[in-house]
Structure 1
Amino acid sequence: MIGRRGALGLLGGLAGTALMPSGLAARASAMPPRLRPGDTVGLVAPASAVTLPAELDRAVHWISGMGLVPKLASHVGDQHGYLAGTDADRAADLDTMFADAEVRAIFAVRGGWGGARILPLLDWATIRANPKLLIGYSDTTALHMAIAARAGFATLHGPNAASRWDRASWESLWRIAFAGTAPVLGGAAAEDAAGRPARSLVPGVARGRLLGGNLTILSTMMGTGWLPDFDGAILFLEDINEEPYRIDRMLQQLQLAGVLDRLAGVVFGQCTRCSAGDADARTFTLDDVLGAHLAPLGIPVVTGFNSGHVRNQLCLPVNVPVELDAGARTLRMLEPAVA
C-alpha cells in the first residue's frame, strides 16, 4: 500500500510527465477537471451502507494521504436496511457533490448494491453542467454507465475510497487524474497480487471507447435505457464470487442482447473467487467459459487484466477512447480523461 508520504513523493517524481496534448484543448469545457494536491473531493455512499465506522475512517485516511481534502456527503453514514440511506437521500448527496463548486471529484466510499436505484432520481441537467470524475468500482458501474449515456464525460473505474490503494492503483490514478496524461496501462510488468500477468486470448489491435465494469451490474442493466451505445467499444468486465455457470449466464445475456457482436475488443479483468464451488469434473472452468463466449467474436481479447476486486488494481478511464493491444496486453489511452 502507499501512504501520504509515498503518494506525495510520487507526485513530485512524476511531475515532469507530459500533460494534455494541445490538440484536445477544445474539449476541455466538456471534460472533468484534473486534480491537484489540496483539492476538495466528495465522499459519497450511493449504494450499500457503510456499516463500520472504521470503513469511513479508512476512506478519509486514504484520500487525505493522496494530498486531497475529503468532504463527506450528508448521508454517507446513514443506514436504511442494507442501503446507505433512502434512495432520495443518496441521490441528493450525489447531486449536491456535482453542484458544489468546491468539489473537484467524487469518490464512492464502497460498492455493494443500490446505485441503479437512484438513477431516475438524479438531476442529470446538473450533472451534465458540472463534469467531475466519479471514482469507484463494483456497484459504481451503474453510475459509470449512466453518466456515459446521459452526460457523456469520463469517469474512473478504480478502487473505492475505503478500498486498499496500492502503488499501482495510486500511480494510475495520478497519471490519469492529476497529471492529465494518456498513459499505457497494463503490459508485461502488470501482474495481479499472485504474480500472474494478463493473458492474450485473441491477439490483435483495436480502438474504441472503453466501457463496462462489473459484469453482474451490467447484466442487470440490459434493456433499461441507462446504458451507453456499445457499437465499436472496448468492453471491460470484472466480477467476484460468481461461479463459471453464472459468468456463462451473464455473458449469454450480453450475447443475446446484441452487445458482444458490436464490440471492437474485450478486456476481461479479474474474476475473484470465480471457480466452481465443488470438484465436479463435469464443470467448466472460468477460462472455458470465457473462451467459448469471447474467442469466436473474432476481435482482440485479453483476460486476467489487473482491475477488479483485487489488490494492485489499475484505474481505468471509462468513456475514453483507448487502443487495446491484446498481444502486448495493454490499454493505451488515446485522449486524456480530464482537462
Structure 2
Amino acid sequence: MQRRRLIKSLMAAPLMAAAGTSALGASAEAAEEAGFSADNSGKDLLRPRRLQKGMTVGLVTPASNAWEDEDIRFASDVVRSLGFKVKEGENLYRRSQYLAGPDAARAQDFNAMFADAEVDAVFCLRGGYGTPRILPMLDYAGIRRNPKVLLGYSDITALLNAIYHRSGVVTFHGPIAAQNFTDYTYSEYQKVLAHGERPVPLGAPPPFEDAAPGRVEKENRITRFAGGRARGRLIGGNLTLMASLLGTPYCPDYRGKILFLEDVGEAPYRVDRMLTQMWLAGKLQQVAGIAFGKFTEADSDGNTFSMEHVLRERCADLGVPVVRGLMFGHVKDQTVVPVGAMAELDGDAGTLVLRDQVVV
C-alpha cells in the first residue's frame, strides 16, 4: 500500500479511543524511565547473535498487514527457505483497516518475541503504516536484556531507530519477510547477518547484466554530491519516518552520525519539505555524512525540480560527504544497513563501508 493512499485513509479513520490514549501515555512514561540513550561512542552498544540455520525467527506485523492470508503464509515460507523455523505472532493475521490489528495487539506481539527465549530473531512481515503508534508501548528495557536481530524497512524505520536510541541494540534496515530475496539481496543479507563480515561495502550497485560491449548503463549509478571521507554510526532509513520522529523521545541523536535515507511515492517537493524540516531542526548540520539510497515512484506533475536537484541543493553544501544511489529502498535488490554500527562514507569513491562488528 502506497503512503499517499494511506494518508487519504488516515483522513477518514476514527480517532483512538480514550482508554487507548491513556494507555499510550502511561507507556510513554515507562519508556522514559528506561533511560537509555545511545551515544556515538558505541561503548554500551549491544550486538545480537548472528543468524544461523536452524534458529527460530519470530514473524510479526507491527505496521500494516498483507492483503490476504496467503501472503502471510508466503512470508513464512520465505523465512523457512532461509533455513529457519518460524514462530508466528499471536496476532499475525489480524487486520484493522490500514493497521495489522489494534496498537496494543501489535505491540504485544513485538514485545513477546523479544521476551521469548525460544525466538532468536524477529523479522517484520511488511511495512505500510503504524509503527510510530506503538513506540510508547515497547519494552525497551526488555529488548536490551534480550538483544535479537530485528529486520525490516520502510515503516519499520521508526522501530529500528527508536530501539537503537532507547535500548542501545543494533537493528537492521533490510528486506521484509513478504518478498522474494534476489541473488543480490541474499548475498548482502548473508555477509552482514550470517557471516558478520567487516570491513565490508554496503549497498554497492550490482554489476550490469546483459550490457552490450561499450554500452553505458544508467540504472544503479552512484551520484557524488560532495566529496570527502567521514566515519560515524549509522542512523536512518525511510525519510518520511525519520522526519516523523523529530521532536519525539524516539528520535536518535544525529550528532556525528552517518545518515542514510530512502523513500517511495514521494514527489520531489515533498522530499524537499522533509529535508527542509530536518535542516530547520538543525539535524542535517549535525551529521558526519549522508548516504541516499533509492527514491522510487517519485511521480510529479512535471512542474518541479528533479529529485537530483532537491537532494543536491539541500545537502551538498553541508560540508560533509554526500552520495546518492546506494542499494537500499523500495527496490528488489537491497542491502542490509545496521542501525547503530560504525561505518565510513567516502564521497569521492561513492562508497559506504561497514567497519563495525554488528553480530556476535
TM-score band w.r.t. shorter chain: 0.7 to 0.9
* Partner SS for 2:349: coil
Q: 2-side partners of 1:151 and 1:129: how far apart?
A: 9
Q: How does 1:247-286 map onto structure 2 within 5 Å?
A: 247-276=271-300, 278-280=301-303, 283-286=304-307
Q: How does 1:214-253 map onto structure 2 within 5 Å?
A: 214-253=238-277
* Partner SS for 2:317: helix
**Is it true that 1:184 corresponds to 2:201 in the alignment?**
yes
Q: 2-side partners of 1:194 and 1:53: how far apart?
A: 38
Tell me which amino acid in the other structure corresponds to 2:172.
Answer: L
**Is it true that 1:75 corresponds to 2:91 in the alignment?**
yes
8 Å contact from structure 1 (residues 186, 331) kept in 2: yes
| CA shift for structure 1 position 98 | 0.2
Tell me which amino acid in the other structure corresponds to 1:61.
Answer: D
Q: 1-side partners of 2:230 and 2:350: how far apart?
A: 12
2:74 to 58, 74, 78: 58
Q: How does 1:315-334 map onto structure 2 within 5 Å?
A: 315-334=336-355
Q: In the TM superposition, what whole-angstrom CA distance separates every residue of 1:42-75 from its partner, at most 9, and x where no partner exists?
A: 1000001222123212211211111111211000
| CA shift for structure 1 position 256 | 0.7
| CA shift for structure 1 position 181 | 1.7
- Alpha carbons of structure 1 residues 264 and 28: separation in structure 2 relative to 1, 3 Å: closer
Residue number in structure 1 paired with 2:8: none
Residue number in structure 2 paired with 1:49: 65
Tell me which amino acid in the other structure corresponds to 1:90.
Answer: R
| CA shift for structure 1 position 102 | 1.3
TM-score by length of 2: 0.83
Residue number in structure 1 paired with 2:12: none
Q: How does 1:85-164 map onto structure 2 within 5 Å?
A: 85-164=101-180
Q: In the TM superposition, what whole-angstrom CA distance separates every residue of 1:251-305 from its partner, at most 9, and x where no partner exists?
A: 00000111100000000110001142x233xx21101101110111111011111
Q: Which moved more, 1:44-53 or 1:194-203?
A: 194-203
* Partner SS for 1:284: coil
Q: 1-side partners of 2:289 and 2:208: how far apart?
A: 21
- Alpha carbons of structure 1 residues 27 and 263: separation in structure 2 relative to 1, 3 Å: closer
* Partner SS for 2:135: helix
Q: Unaligned 5+ residue runs, structure 2?
A: 1-41, 210-216
8 Å contact from structure 2 (residues 45, 169) kept in 1: no
- Alpha carbons of structure 1 residues 28 and 284: separation in structure 2 relative to 1, 3 Å: closer
Q: CA RMSD in A?
A: 2.0
Q: 2-side partners of 1:190 and 1:288: how far apart?
A: 26
Q: How does 1:19-58 map onto structure 2 within 5 Å?
A: 30-58=46-74
- Alpha carbons of structure 1 residues 332 and 249: separation in structure 2 relative to 1, 3 Å: same
* Partner SS for 1:297: coil
| CA shift for structure 1 position 199 | 1.6
Identity of aligned residues (%): 43
| CA shift for structure 1 position 136 | 0.2
Q: 2-side partners of 1:91 and 1:127: how far apart?
A: 12
Residue number in structure 1 paired with 2:313: 292
| CA shift for structure 1 position 188 | 5.9
* Partner SS for 1:226: coil
- Alpha carbons of structure 1 residues 188 and 69: separation in structure 2 relative to 1, 3 Å: closer
Q: In the TM superposition, what whole-angstrom CA distance separates every residue of 1:105-146 from its partner, at most 9, and x where no partner exists?
A: 111000011001111111122111001111000000000110
8 Å contact from structure 1 (residues 237, 267) kept in 2: yes
* Partner SS for 2:120: strand
Q: 2-side partners of 1:97 and 1:108: how far apart?
A: 11
Q: Unaligned 5+ residue runs, structure 1?
A: 1-25
Residue number in structure 2 paired with 1:175: 191
Q: 1-side partners of 2:202 and 2:172: how far apart?
A: 13
Residue number in structure 2 paired with 1:10: none
- Alpha carbons of structure 1 residues 241 and 295: separation in structure 2 relative to 1, 3 Å: same
Tell me which amino acid in the other structure corresponds to 1:175.
Answer: K
- Alpha carbons of structure 1 residues 132 and 77: separation in structure 2 relative to 1, 3 Å: same
Q: 2-side partners of 1:232 and 1:311: how far apart?
A: 30
Tell me which amino acid in the other structure corresponds to 2:148.
Answer: K
- Alpha carbons of structure 1 residues 311 and 188: separation in structure 2 relative to 1, 3 Å: closer
| CA shift for structure 1 position 158 | 0.5
8 Å contact from structure 2 (residues 204, 351) kept in 1: yes
8 Å contact from structure 1 (residues 187, 328) kept in 2: no
Residue number in structure 2 paired with 1:22: none
Point out 4+ residue stretches in structure 1 off by more than 3 angstroms.
26-29, 186-195
Q: 2-side partners of 1:288 and 1:102: how far apart?
A: 49
8 Å contact from structure 2 (residues 205, 327) kept in 1: no
Tell me which amino acid in the other structure corresponds to 1:79.
Answer: R
